[in-house]
């Protein structure tokens, strides 16, 4: 069960966020409303939500998932691979918020880079995508830290997606949403794989929160598959975040 979530209100500069999508620029006012609805859905799922202030100097800073990994034993501050995002991991208010929940705070150091959107937690084990943002040294340091706390990690090679969790979502109870290259990845054979088709690939970025699953609006086949597994679904519109490659998981730290 998750008790706590940390989010950051999107900045006025969100339209300048990094993107590979060709879907136009996010509309700030709309992004704000969608963020409020996201927080409401999380609250409904029974977690306490800590809301951090926006940081206009960092257009992507609402994607707090990338700057820390929150485990049952420690929080690990990452070192983002995207240069424009690197200093997001040094923002005092985030580090203070994490210190209020955790006695143990660890840090990834140069030349390691890692964004926690590349890390999927399955119990005490963590799958780490080796992506354009997460390098071998970042993954090595992360696994070393995890092992220090009795946790474990393994690297997953990937080529197509921005982050590991762009195409994977663990819904607990062995259920794993899989899209694109991860459908056939040997690492995930042991799971009950729920395939997400190409035309709804963005819908693979769902989050499990205490028996609810938050699903992005506009992906009816994904939604139905999740409902058929017996989960209560909360649909949240993330259209403005999609324009800059962001989704439901990226917008929060859950622990």
Catalytically annotated residues: 163, 250
Near ligand CIR by CB under 6 A: residue from 63, 127, 182, 188: 63
- Residue 254 near ligand CIR by CB under 6 A: no
Backbone angles phi, psi at 83, to 5 degrees: -55, -40
Site for ligand CIR in 148-167 (CB under 6 A): 162-163, 166
Per DSSP, which regions of the chain are E strands? 4-8, 48-52, 68-70, 75-77, 105-107, 119-122, 125-130, 152-157, 168-170, 175-179, 192-196, 207-209, 212-216, 232-236, 253-254
CB closer to ligand CIR out of 55 and 163 = 163
Q: Is 85 annotated as ligand-binding?
A: yes
- Which one of 59-67, 71-79, 91-99, 141-149 is the stretch in contact with ligand CIR (CB under 6 A)? 59-67
The helix/strand/coil state of 47 is coil
Near ligand CIR by CB under 6 A: residue from 246, 252, 253, 254: 246
Near ligand CIR by CB under 6 A: residue from 7, 26, 41, 66: 66
Q: Is 244 annotated as ligand-binding?
A: yes
User: What is the CA 57 to chain-centroid distance, rounded?
Assistant: 21
Site for ligand CIR in 5-44 (CB under 6 A): 17-19
- Residue 122 near ligand CIR by CB under 6 A: no
CB 76 within 8 A of CB 107: yes
Q: Is 103 annotated as ligand-binding?
A: no
Site for ligand CIR in 82-101 (CB under 6 A): 82, 85
> Cα(119)–Cα(80) distance, rounded to whole angstroms?
13
Q: How far is the CB of 228 from ligand CIR (least distance, A)?
A: 26
> Cα(156)–Cα(132) distance, rounded to whole angstroms?
13
Concatenating the DSSP letter of every residue in 111-158 gives T--B-GGGEEEETTEEEEEE-SSS-HHHHHHHHHHHHHTT-EEEEEE-
Q: Is 86 annotated as ligand-binding?
A: no
- Residue 117 near ligand CIR by CB under 6 A: yes
Cis peptide leading into 111, omega within 30 of 0? yes
Residues within the annotated binding site for substrate?
18, 60, 65-66, 85, 133, 244
Q: Which residues bind ligand CIR (CB under 6 A)?
A: 17-19, 60, 63, 65-66, 82, 85, 117, 162-163, 166, 244-246, 249-250
């Amino acid at each position: 069960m998750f008790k706590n979530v940390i989010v950051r209100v999107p900045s006025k500069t969100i339209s300048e966020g990094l993107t590979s999508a060709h879907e136009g620029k996010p509309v700030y006012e709309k992004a704000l409303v969608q963020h409020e609805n996201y927080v409401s859905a999380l609250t409904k799922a029974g977690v306490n939500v800590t809301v951090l202030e926006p940081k206009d100097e960092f257009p992507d800073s609402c994607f707090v998932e990338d700057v820390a990994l929150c485990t049952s034993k420690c929080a690990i501050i990452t070192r983002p691979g995207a240069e424009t995002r690197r200093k997001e991991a040094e923002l005092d208010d985030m580090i203070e918020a994490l210190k209020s929940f955790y006695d143990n705070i660890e840090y990834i150091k140069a030349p390691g880079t890692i964004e926690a959107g590349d890390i999927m937690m399955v119990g005490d084990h963590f799958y780490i995508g080796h992506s354009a943002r997460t390098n071998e040294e970042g993954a090595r340091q992360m696994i070393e830290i995890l092992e220090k706390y009795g946790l474990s990690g393994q690297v997953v090679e990937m080529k197509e997606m921005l982050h590991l969790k762009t195409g994977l979502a663990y819904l607990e109870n062995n259920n794993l949403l899989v899209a694109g290259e991860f459908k056939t990845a040997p690492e995930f054979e042991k799971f009950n794989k729920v395939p997400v088709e190409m035309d709804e690939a963005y819908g693979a970025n769902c989050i499990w929160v205490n028996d609810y699953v938050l699903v992005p609006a506009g992906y009816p086949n994904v939604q139905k598959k999740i409902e058929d597994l017996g989960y209560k679904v909360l649909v949240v519109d993330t259209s403005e975040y999609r324009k800059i490659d962001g989704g439901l998981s990226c917008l929060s730290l859950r622990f």
